[in-house]
Amino acid sequence: MLITRTPLRISFFGGGTDYPAWYKEHGGMVLSTTIDKYSYITCRRLPPFFEYKYLIKYSTTEKVRSLGEIQHPSVRECLRFLKFRQGIEAAYSSDVPAMSGLGSSSAFTVGLLHALYALQGKTVTKRQLALDALRVEQTRIRESVGSQDQVAAAFGGFNKIVFGGREAFQVYPLAIAPKRRRALQESLMLFFTGVSRTASDIAKAQIAAIQRKETNLAELARIAEEAERALLHPSVPLHSFGRLLHESWQFKRSVTDKITTPFIDDMYETARRAGAVGGKLLGAGGGGFMLFFVPKGKQAKVRKALSKLLLVPFSFDATGSQLIYYAPAFEA
């Protein structure tokens, strides 16, 4: 048996420019960090004593005899992609709900690929994990998803991820001064809206809007570059990061009317009136987690104003997908 642990992520800037339909022509850039919230995959080869060959546990349990019968698209296509012929038992658990904007779907795919490689006795690089996850989700399943979540889950850390060109993507860790990094983390508040959504449905609307919203996405890329400079230069006041979050959110929400809702807009304005400098809805939109930049002196007021929502403490995480337990017990 083995267990992989794969981090979830917060995407600060550049979301939308990581869709292939955009970055293959214009290039793209995202600033994101992984956090101490994780997706876990427990996996083992299944002994040949059962009526079924595949035992898959997530929000439901599947016991099936053939690969084609597996309903979970990522499990089915990961097994096909790696030409995995043996029976397996795989179980999924996560620190947060699915479809909540922290990249849990791609963390699942990255973690499962990592587990399957390990079951085959193979070591895989972070880059290969990211590329494989992109192929599974975008080419085999044909999900309308961007490319940042797979890269963040595989690599981990606080990074600038650049998309486009011959290499598809490049990952550049941001060398933020420790004191500034700590101050940034202490200024961020994460709330769960209680609403889940299917990212690919919203992504389809974003992709359809790309041609007529080029100016908006170009602005998102520009803001991401400005945010990078703000993080790396101590002379720039840190609250400018919050101001840029606000500016970016205004552009992002205008790409398609599926990104926000009256409930989310009301929540955002309530937080701003209570002292938040800026914020954004994480993920494709429609629900999930809301992030705010709030000076420490205003955080109690914001927490009270949003008291009906769940405040989720978190820390930045520097690791990508990891094999945290490995004890092979059965060979088919």
**pTM (two decimals):** 0.92
Average pLDDT for residues 21-42, to the nearest whole number? 95
What is the pLDDT at residue 332?
45
Cα gap 206→198, rounded to integer Å: 13
Distance separating alpha carbons of residues 146 and 328, to the nearest angstrom: 35
Q: Which tokens hold the place of 53?
A: 């060959």
Question: What pLDDT, on a 0 to 100 scale, did the predictor assign at position 203?
Answer: 52
Write the pLDDT tens digit of every residue in 276-308.
999 999 976 667 899 999 999 999 999 999 999
Residue 177 has pLDDT above 50, yes or no: yes
Which domain CATH number covers 128? 3.30.230.10
Helix axes 239-252, 214-232, angle to 10 degrees: 170
Residue 212 reports pLDDT greater than 60? no
Q: For residue 285, is it left (φ>0), alpha (ψ between -120 and 50) or beta?
A: left
Task: Tell whether 332 is covered by a domain.
Answer: no
Residue 247 has pLDDT above 90, yes or no: yes
34-64: pLDDT as tens digits:
999 999 999 999 998 999 999 999 999 999 9
Place 81 in a pLDDT band, splitting at 50, 70 and 90. Answer: very high
Query: Quick check: is 103 in a domain?
Result: yes
Same domain, 238 and 109: no
On average, the pLDDT of the chain sits at 91
Give percent of the chain with pLDDT exceeding 70. Answer: 91
DSSP 3-state percent helix, strand, coil across the chain (nearest 5) = 40, 25, 35
- Backbone region of residue 26 per phi and psi (left: phi > 0; alpha: psi in -120 to 50; beta: other values): alpha
Q: Quote the domain boundaries for residue 206.
A: 178-314
In a domain, 331, yes or no: no
Q: Please tell me whether residues 142 and 243 are part of one structural domain.
A: no
Q: Where residue 201 falls among pLDDT bands split at 50, 70, 90?
A: low
Q: Is the pLDDT of residue 162 over 60?
A: yes
Residue 256: pLDDT over 70: no
Question: Looking at residue 37, what is its pLDDT?
Answer: 98
Mean of the pLDDT values across residues 219-247? 94
Domain CATH number, residue 188: 3.30.70.890
The model's pLDDT over 110-152, given as tens digits with 9 standing for 90+, comes to 999 999 999 999 999 999 999 999 999 999 999 888 999 999 9
Q: Residue 102 pLDDT more than 70?
A: yes
Same domain, 142 and 53: yes
Report if residue 252 sits inside a domain: yes
Distances in Å between the Cα of 30 and the Cα atoms of 92, 137, 143, 181 are 28, 19, 20, 18
Domain count, the chain: 2
287 and 169 part of one domain: no
- Whether residue 185 sits in one domain with residue 121: no
